[in-house]
Copies of this chain bind each other. A is one copy, B any other.
Amino acid sequence: MAIQLRPSQALRLWQQTSLAEVRGQRPDLTERQMAILLTIYLDPPPHTVRGLADRLGVTKPVITRALDTMGAMKLVSRHRDERDRRNVLIKRTVEGALFVERFGDVVVAKAQELPL
């Protein structure tokens, strides 16, 4: 059986999670950066700039810049593809995995606190 969520619960979940993230002093990411990060950590590799741009429906520079930013935060890393040196493969990092994991835990916690 699929996850059943009423609209009011969905909105409350999003609000509570967003509030927790805004109030926390973690590195803050834009919605696009978050979508990219989650895609890297949830979708099967390999991940390329082009692939991510298509997945998000945005231009390549958006991905490059997001990777610059998140790379500086050590949330992702870039490696030249040795088989086709035009490609850049984006990989996970320990810090990034921890960040994503912690975020998932926040959502789960807020979901449990939801009123029925």
Q: Which of B4, B14, B31, B104 contacts A7 (CB 8 A)?
A: B104
Residues of B within 8 A of A9 (CB): 3
Q: Is the CB of B31 within 8 A of A18?
A: yes
Chain A positions within 8 Å of B, measured between CB atoms, are 1-15, 17-19, 21-23, 28, 30-32, 34-35, 38-39, 41-42, 55-58, 100-101, 103-105, 107-108, 111-114, 116
Residues of B within 8 A of A30 (CB): 30-31
Residues of B within 8 A of A107 (CB): 5, 7, 10-11, 13-14
Residue of B nearest to A11 (CB): B104
Residues of B within 8 A of A114 (CB): 2-3
Nearest CB in chain B: distance from A24 CB, A: 9
Q: Which of B1, B7, B12, B35 contacts A15 (CB 8 A)?
A: B35
Which one of A1, A4, A31 has the greatest number of beta carbons of chain B within 10 Å? Answer: A31
